[in-house]
Amino acid sequence: MKILGLTGGSGTGKSAACTAFEQLGCGVIDADATYRALCDTCEPMLEEIRIVFGDVFSTDGKLDRKKLGAVVFADAEKLQQLNAITHPYIRQAAREAFAACEARGCLLCIYDAPVLFEGKMETLCDKTCAVLAARDTRIARIMARDAITEQYAALRIDAQQSDAFYRERCDYVVQNDEDLAKLYEQVRRVYEDMVRG
């Protein structure tokens, strides 16, 4: 089984691309969902977070991700500390999920990770693919999806990596500015290339 790391910014259509890959029989692992599950269930990771960050838990003992986010996004060093704690657990969970996909007979497994390179998770993958879209298209999609203003959508996009960042690093680029048929056509080409290669 091959593993394809799928990445790209908000509003590019990664979810639609994942759906297209799923329809071709691929396994899809959502890195963000994996992290959220670990935040709820992984006691060893939570204990490490408690030791380093202290009071970022709610009264019922659950990790308060908003409180933790406020701490780490205001301080690059603290974000590095958090990543050093969480990444080994995320990697282990990803490996277990890949093994489950392989046991199901998947030829290709998609690892959907918005911060694939920043988290150095591309090292888990055979190849990488970015889903890109024009800025105006992304703004319109985010506004519709999250019910936010154009200004806020633009700020979110501007805080993320540029298209050039992804083009330099990825083996494949899916340009998602048109209809779903065009997207599915590109996804099929990537799938066929990966399964053949």
89 C-beta neighbours (distance < 10 Å), count: 18
Q: Write down the pLDDT at residue 136.
A: 95
Is the pLDDT score of 68 beyond 80?
yes
CA 155 distance to own-chain centroid: 19
pLDDT band at 50 (very low <50, low <70, confident <90, very high): very high
Helix residue ranges, H only, 12-161 = 14-23, 31-41, 43-53, 65-72, 76-103, 135-146, 150-158
Q: Write down the pLDDT at residue 74.
A: 83
The pLDDT tens digits for 99-121 are 999 999 999 999 999 989 988 99
Rounded to two decimals, the pTM is 0.89
Q: What percent of the chain has pLDDT over 70?
A: 100
The pLDDT tens digits for 152-186 are 899 889 889 999 999 999 999 999 999 999 999 99
79 C-beta neighbours (distance < 10 Å), count: 14
8 Å CB contact between 137 and 178: no
Report the relative pairing of strands 108-112 and 127-132 from DSSP bridges: unpaired
Q: Write down the pLDDT at residue 118.
A: 86
Q: What percent of the chain has pLDDT over 90?
A: 85
The Cα 108–Cα 102 span in angstroms is: 8
Is the pLDDT score of 82 beyond 80?
yes
User: Is 170 in a helix, a strand, or coil?
Assistant: coil
The tokens 């994996």 sit on which residue? 34
